[in-house]
Amino acid sequence: MSQRAQFIHRMVGWLNEEVAPKGVHVDAETPLFSTRLLDSLRVLELIAFTEQAIGLPIPDSHIRMDNFQTVARIAAVFLPLENHVVA
Amino acid sequence: MSLLREIEAALADLARAETSNEWLAPAGVSFATLERAQYFASFPQWLTAASHLSGNEAALQHIAASASPGAAARSSLEPADVVLPPAVCYNTYAAHADSVIAAPVVMTAQGTCWRYEGERLAALERGWAFTMREIVCLGAQHDVREFLDRSVERVSALERVLGIDCEMVAASDPFFAPNARGRAALQRIKGLKHELVFRFPDGRPLAIASFNDHELFFGEAFAISLPDGSPAWSGCVAFGLERWLMAVLVTHGVEPAGWPVTLSLNAELARPRGTDE
């Protein structure tokens, strides 16, 4: 499994186990911000989760909707070619 | 002063193109209203309140007879009863609290606002007291989104008329810690706040207008409902008049001869771009 696939697997698992309310299932393509899935505390956890995975802090300028729309999008932006971050 | 009045008139015209519902902004806002707006968890660092002296005659005589009556009065102030508004819009939400709005509500008001920013205070750029024009929209999500889109177009047109060069940027509010980064991140990711930014010749930014999508925050906080019972969406556009003045002066200089021929709103501003016949 590639690093990106692992990241998606772990983040989707975390969202379903720790964040999503009962009866709500999150997958890699679920829009994360069109509902109230993530509040201001959870969004920090999401960012921290991503930072931990890539081993780098994410600058505020990269914290925007087109980078964080879905888990798949986060992975594509921040883990584009394994360890190369191009956001 | 005449230039500031011209800018004031231009922004008032811009607001009137959106709504004829103009309010007189109250000089104060209650602690209860700000509490309901969760202000004390958002921007308490700015709070400026109004106090008064007691009606106790002996105390007043003591102050009047004091060698330093100003200092004596200062030390005799009662606890503050009212807050000097940090923004115009809080009172508009309070005015619609616990009600159902049958149709979208768009209103505008101009008032003096107060934000204490300590060492960051700077004349015209960041005054403790400054003048704010706001346009507020309450309604369904699409009403607010369309209002914000129209406002961006209208403000861009005004920017062109005034000949000032600005850019629209994604922004976030300077929330009070401890959850400041999370709230700001959520605001940025969801694209809820944009600012029209003027740049000084040295590149320093100056936000002269902000476009804010509050989603359901104030609708829920103030129990403002739509006819179907769901909470209202809200959004606002805010202008700092002294900052517009600064942008015009920096761009065109302090001599009136260099200012744009007319700063009064022309027909172009009365309608968003793209609607020309």
- Asked if pLDDT for residue A13 goes beyond 70, the answer is yes
Element (H, E) at B82: strand B82-83
Query: How confident is the model at residue B13, as a pLDDT?
Result: 93
Q: What is the CATH number of domain A3-78?
A: 1.10.1200.10
Tell me whether B181 touches chain A (CB under 8 Å).
yes
Average pLDDT for B170-195: 88
For residue B36, is it within any domain?
no
Q: Taking the C-alpha atoms of B263, B266, B268 and B270 in order, what is their torsion angle to the nearest 10 degrees?
A: 110
For residue B58, is it within any domain?
no
Query: How confident is the model at residue B121, as a pLDDT?
Result: 86
Residue ranges of B 40-99 with Cβ closer than 8 A to chain A: none
For residue B37, is it within any domain?
no
- Asked if pLDDT for residue B266 goes beyond 60, the answer is no
Residue ranges of A 19-38 with Cβ closer than 8 A to chain B: 33, 38
Three-state DSSP state, B127: coil
Rounded Cα distance, B50 and A36, in Å = 38
B-chain residues within 8 Å CB-CB of A63?
185, 188-189
Query: How confident is the model at residue B274, as a pLDDT?
Result: 52
What tens digit of pLDDT does each residue of B222-242 get? 999 999 999 999 999 999 999
Q: How confident is the model at residue A40 (pLDDT cuts 50, 70, 90)?
A: confident
Nearest chain A Cα distance for residue B83, angstroms? 27
Angle, in degrees to the nearest 10, between helices A40-54 and A3-14: 160
Cβ atoms of B65 and B132 within 8 Å: the answer is no
Closest partner residue to A43 (CB to CB) among B170, B182, B191 is B182
Cβ within 8 Å of residue B158, ≥6 positions away: B10, B11, B14, B265, B269
Cβ atoms of B234 and B138 within 8 Å: the answer is yes
For residue B275, is it within any domain?
no
Percent of chain B with pLDDT over 70: 93
User: How far, CA to CA in Å, does A57 sit from each of A50, A53, B142, B208, B262?
Assistant: 9, 10, 36, 31, 49
Cβ atoms within 10 Å of A35's Cβ, excluding its own:
11
CB contact under 8 A, B185 and A44: yes
B-chain residues within 8 Å CB-CB of A60?
184-185, 188
A-chain residues within 8 Å CB-CB of B179?
40-41, 44
Residue of B nearest to A65 (CA): B189
Which tokens go with B35?
A: 């509490």
What tens digit of pLDDT does each residue of B57-91 get? 999 999 999 999 999 999 999 999 999 999 999 99
- Mean residue pLDDT across chain B: 91
For residue B174, is it within any domain?
yes
Rounded Cα distance, B231 and B216, in Å = 6
Domain that holds residue B247: 2-30+86-270
For residue B78, is it within any domain?
no
Report which DSSP code applies to B231.
Answer: B
- Asked if pLDDT for residue B3 goes beyond 70, the answer is yes
Q: What pTM value is reported for the model?
A: 0.86
For residue B7, is it within any domain?
yes
Average pLDDT for B117-138: 92
Phi, psi of B84 (to 5 degrees): -80, 130
Alpha carbon B212 to chain centroid, angstroms: 10
- Asked if pLDDT for residue B264 goes beyond 70, the answer is no
CB contact under 8 A, B185 and A39: no
CB contact under 8 A, B191 and A64: yes
Give the number of domains in chain B.
1
Q: How confident is the model at residue A20 (pLDDT cuts 50, 70, 90)?
A: very high
Query: How confident is the model at residue B199, as a pLDDT?
Result: 95
User: Domain containing B233 — which CATH number?
Assistant: 3.30.930.10
For residue B224, is it within any domain?
yes
**Nearest partner of B155 among B224, B81, B243, B42, judged by Cα:** B243
Percent of chain B with pLDDT over 90: 75
